[in-house]
């Protein structure tokens, strides 16, 4: 057990008191959080940096065997400067100061909590978390706005980004792959804000989604056949509905002998196949040049001889390039998009194609969409916090100027139970999709029970 782990155990006893003090400061609305050890922390921090510099240790490139050494340096400083306080308090101080210097300060325990999936910092004194799909106010606080800004700057500088009054918004990725967004004043009126969507160290599998009752085994088997049969699939849903997680599960069904190119704003997909090329977009540099957009990467991927193109999310003009790729021999491509239903997704795709700057007639755009896409998988976060695949829908074709859709699977809600959880069942409509011939031609065995309740 490392020294840091031992400190975490010793700290548990003092957490309840700290939580009570923090909650008091938060609930009164106008009481400012006061850290009685602020001066001591500042002195320890300063002396620690001096000692580290004397030993010529680079804090931005720490080896695993150096962590214990750094903790011992800090522990010796605290033993001298905080000799008049209890051992438990000294352990807590050591953990907090170390997190401030080497980690993300007060956010470290939240990042280490496996039940928390998202962290939302609304200024220094109100930090919310998402736990099991529900939002709750945590007992964690920062000292002040500058404390939050220091953490934000530590994150963005480590990935070559910047944030200041001239550029007060930033998207980045933490070392563990978690998605990070920050907005600072003057845009944010509540102080510096952060949103961190945590990255699962072990990616969720289809078996996990079945266990969470997010999808049925029959639907998983059907979608696996569709991916292996090289159908073009788009996953739709609202923010936080689990689109990227489902995309990752679908991607895992791609055979290992195919060349896969993934394109994302922040690399989140965790593919286990051997032949994967991961591309990530890039924002402009300090001079405002050097930007590489998702659209640029989609265009370039066509020259990379991909068997599959996976785009993390289409939001604007890259939609047209993605549809054209699907229509020109890159079958089996996958992507996600924001929408409230499969039908609404068709309208959003039209709008996003127009954002490419191409002055195309609406009918031509709709023909591109229906000929490119085979399946829409719609995911939704329900009011009890659970995430469900509520529709698997076939893109059938055109009737006049309208794209025709037909549901293959639905989720039927049957009210709520005594614990407020939504009850329901995954059902099939009994319709056999038109693309079954394409699956059969690819050597996929069609199971009749896919379309029976």
Query: Do strands 308-311 and 334-338 pair parallel, antiparallel, or not at all (unpaired)?
Result: parallel
Q: Mean pLDDT for each consecutive 10-residue tract of the chain (453 residues)?
A: 44 39 39 61 74 65 66 76 75 76 83 90 94 88 88 82 85 82 93 90 88 94 95 94 92 93 86 91 78 92 92 92 89 94 95 90 93 96 91 94 95 88 93 93 92 89
| Residue 43 sits in the same domain as residue 67 | yes
pLDDT at 345: 96
| Residue 213 sits in the same domain as residue 171 | no
Domain carrying residue 62: 1-102
| Residue 217 sits in the same domain as residue 342 | yes
| Residue 109 sits in the same domain as residue 98 | no
| Residue 228 sits in the same domain as residue 248 | yes
| Residue 421 sits in the same domain as residue 440 | yes
* Whole-number Å distance between alpha carbons of 40 and 32: 19
With 0.85 as the threshold, say if the pTM is over it: no
User: Which CATH number fits the domain that encloses residue 175?
Assistant: 3.30.450.90
| Residue 187 sits in the same domain as residue 217 | no
% pLDDT > 90, the chain? 51
pLDDT at 156: 85
* Whole-number Å distance between alpha carbons of 201 and 378: 25
The backbone torsions φ and ψ at residue 349, rounded to the nearest 5 degrees and listed phi first, read -60, -40
| Residue 98 sits in the same domain as residue 109 | no
Q: What are the angstrom distances between the C-alpha of 287 and each of 130, 182, 295, 349?
A: 37, 21, 21, 33
| Residue 222 sits in the same domain as residue 306 | yes
pLDDT at 181: 92
What confidence tens digit (pLDDT) does each residue in 345-357 have?
999 999 999 998 8
* Whole-number Å distance between alpha carbons of 196 and 107: 10
Residue 110: which residues within 8 A CB-CB, separation 6 or more? 116, 119, 127, 129, 138, 140
Question: Of 143, 168, 199, which residue is a domain's last?
Answer: 199
Cβ burial, residue 349 (10 Å; 0-12/13-18/19+):
buried
Question: Of 58, 74, 102, which residue is a domain's last?
Answer: 102
In the chain, the number of structural domains is: 3
pLDDT at 24: 36
Asked whether 364 and 386 are in contact (CB, 8 A), the reply is no
| Residue 308 sits in the same domain as residue 292 | yes
| Residue 384 sits in the same domain as residue 304 | yes
- The SS3 call for residue 35 is coil
* Whole-number Å distance between alpha carbons of 143 and 41: 12
Where is 71: in which H helix or E strand? helix 64-81
What confidence tens digit (pLDDT) does each residue in 274-304 have?
999 999 888 777 677 888 999 999 999 999 9
User: Which CATH number fits the domain that encloses residue 286?
Assistant: 3.40.50.300
| Residue 341 sits in the same domain as residue 222 | yes
Question: Of 102, 137, 153, which residue is a domain's last?
Answer: 102
Asked whether 90 and 82 are in contact (CB, 8 A), the reply is yes
């Amino acid at each position: 057990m490392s020294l840091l782990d031992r400190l975490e155990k010793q700290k548990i006893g003092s957490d309840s008191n700290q939580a009570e003090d923090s909650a008091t400061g938060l609930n009164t609305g106008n009481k400012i959080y006061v850290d009685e050890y602020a001066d001591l922390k500042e002195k320890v921090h300063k002396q620690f940096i001096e000692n580290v510099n004397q030993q010529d240790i680079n804090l931005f490139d720490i080896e695993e065997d150096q962590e214990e050494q750094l903790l011992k340096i800090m522990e010796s400083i605290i033993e001298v400067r905080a000799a008049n306080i209890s051992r438990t308090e000294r352990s807590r101080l050591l953990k907090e100061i170390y997190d401030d210097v080497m980690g993300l300060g007060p956010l470290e325990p939240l990042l280490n909590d496996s039940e928390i999936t998202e962290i939302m910092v609304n200024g220094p004194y109100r930090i919310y978390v998402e736990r099991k799909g529900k939002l709750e106010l945590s007992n964690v606080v920062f000292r002040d706005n500058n404390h939050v800004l220091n953490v934000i700057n530590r994150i963005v500088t480590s990935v070559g980004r910047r944030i200041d009054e001239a550029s007060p918004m930033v998207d980045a990725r933490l070392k563990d792959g978690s998605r990070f967004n920050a907005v600072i004043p003057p845009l944010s009126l509540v102080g510096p804000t952060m949103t961190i969507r945590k990255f699962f160290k072990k990616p969720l599998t289809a078996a996990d989604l079945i266990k969470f009752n997010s999808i049925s085994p029959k639907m998983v088997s059907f979608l696996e056949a569709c991916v292996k049969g090289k159908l073009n699939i788009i996953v739709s849903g609202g923010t936080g509905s689990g689109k990227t997680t489902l995309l990752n599960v679908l991607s895992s069904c791609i055979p290992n002998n195919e060349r896969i190119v993934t394109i994302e704003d922040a690399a989140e997909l965790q593919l286990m196949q051997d032949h994967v090329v991961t591309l990530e977009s890039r924002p402009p540099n300090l001079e405002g040049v050097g930007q590489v957009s998702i659209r640029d990467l989609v265009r370039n991927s066509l020259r990379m001889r991909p068997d599959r193109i996976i785009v993390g999310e289409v939001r604007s003009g890259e939609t047209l390039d993605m549809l054209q790729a699907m229509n020109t021999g890159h079958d089996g491509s996958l992507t996600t998009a924001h929408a409230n239903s499969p039908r609404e997704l068709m309208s959003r795709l039209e709008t996003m194609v127009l954002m490419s700057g191409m002055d195309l007639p609406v009918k031509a755009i709709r023909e591109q969409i229906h000929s490119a896409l085979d399946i829409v998988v719609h995911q939704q976060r329900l009011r009890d916090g659970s995430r469900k695949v509520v529709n698997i829908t076939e893109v059938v074709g055109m009737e006049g100027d309208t794209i025709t859709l037909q549901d293959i699977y639905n989720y039927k809600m049957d009210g709520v139970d005594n614990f407020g959880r939504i009850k329901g069942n995954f059902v099939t409509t009994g319709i056999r999709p038109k693309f079954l011939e394409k699956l059969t031609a690819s050597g996929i065995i069609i199971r009749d029970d896919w379309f029976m309740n």
